[in-house]
Amino acid sequence: MTWFASPADAAARLNATGYLTDHATATTAFLAGALEKPLLLEGPAGVGKTELAKAVSRATGADLVRLQCYEGLDEARALYEWNYKKQLLRIQAEPKGADAPDWGRTHDDIFAEEFLLTRPLLTAIRREEPTVLLIDEVDKTDIEVEGLLLEVLSDFQVTIPELGTVAATRRPFVVLTSNASRELSEAVKRRCLYLHLDYPDAAREREILHSQVPGIDDRIAEQLVATVGRLRDMDLKKAPSIAESVDWARTLIALEIRDLDEKAITDTLGVVLKHASDHERAVRELKIGRSLPGAR
């Protein structure tokens, strides 16, 4: 399968899904498909890393398989595990006494395909249909988990001791995301293309708002983007994401707010800031009112 014909094709098809790309993003997405290499997306939370994988899935018609990473993730949750309850029932159903089969045959029976529970990595490897494999927030796992990824990212195969090696018949489009909370191993990075995604500039964020929130007034969009930019410059626990900018725009429309003055900001700040300390800092430091672009 050809994922994208060119960087321009990638940009056009991703834009058609509602994901607005720049040249670097479109080029890297094209290369990830053309070279069949995993794509590592790194950057702050909320800049569209996960959404890019979803957009590739929508743009190409491929199914999305997602592995959500977290502290304590292990092989049984990432690759596969055996259905122990079903295996036990199978053993208990065996004849007893003189008619009992030898253990070797029973062992082969209970470690057969019907007892295997596939998890996201193995599921993506085994699929014959076009698949986007999203390994989300890989930096949240323990470093040992990266070892589980190396065989998949290197050869697109998984070794199951009882069944042998399962190799991909069709390589998935692999996207790994990281918020850079810890440094990933060089072994993982070496197997990937790399793209750093940051918050968009003001012009691009206004473009995103107009795309995601039809009917938003140009002036209030400019005010909102300016305010969000100032919030991101503060020392906050969690800076506003692009999705939260969109939510704020929808909130202002729902409340029929046509001027983002200090009262409007204070009343709706909970849409974009989710920590009490961030809220207090913003209320204290945002002395904007009429200094906002377009304010009356």
User: At residue 249, does pLDDT exceed 80?
Assistant: yes
Helices (H), the chain: 7-16, 23-34, 49-60, 75-78, 84-92, 103-110, 120-126, 145-155, 186-190, 202-212, 218-233, 242-254, 262-268, 276-285
pLDDT value, residue 278: 93
Confidence of residue 296 (pLDDT cuts 50, 70, 90): very low
As a whole number, the mean pLDDT across the chain is 88
pTM of the model: 0.83
Per-residue tokens: 256: 């029929």
Give the type of residue at 61.
Answer: G
Is pLDDT above 90 for 276? yes
**Residues 30-76: tens digit of each pLDDT:** 999 999 999 999 999 989 999 999 999 999 999 999 999 999 888 88
User: Is CATH 3.40.50.300 what the domain over 7-74+119-196 is classified as, yes or no?
Assistant: yes
Spatial neighbors of 106 by CB under 8 A, at least 6 apart, are: 90, 91, 94
pLDDT confidence of residue 198: 94
More confident residue, 131 or 77: 131
pLDDT score for 295: 44
Up-side HSE of residue 224: CA atoms within 13 Å toward CB?
34
Label residue 252 by pLDDT band (50, 70, 90).
Answer: very high
| pLDDT (tens digit per residue) in 101-127 | 565 566 667 777 788 888 999 999 989
As a whole number, mean pLDDT of residues 168-180 equals: 93
Q: Flag the least confident range among 87-91, 129-133, 154-158.
A: 87-91
Query: What is the pLDDT confidence band of residue 224, given thresholds at 50, 70 and 90?
Result: very high
291 confidence band (pLDDT: 50, 70, 90): very low
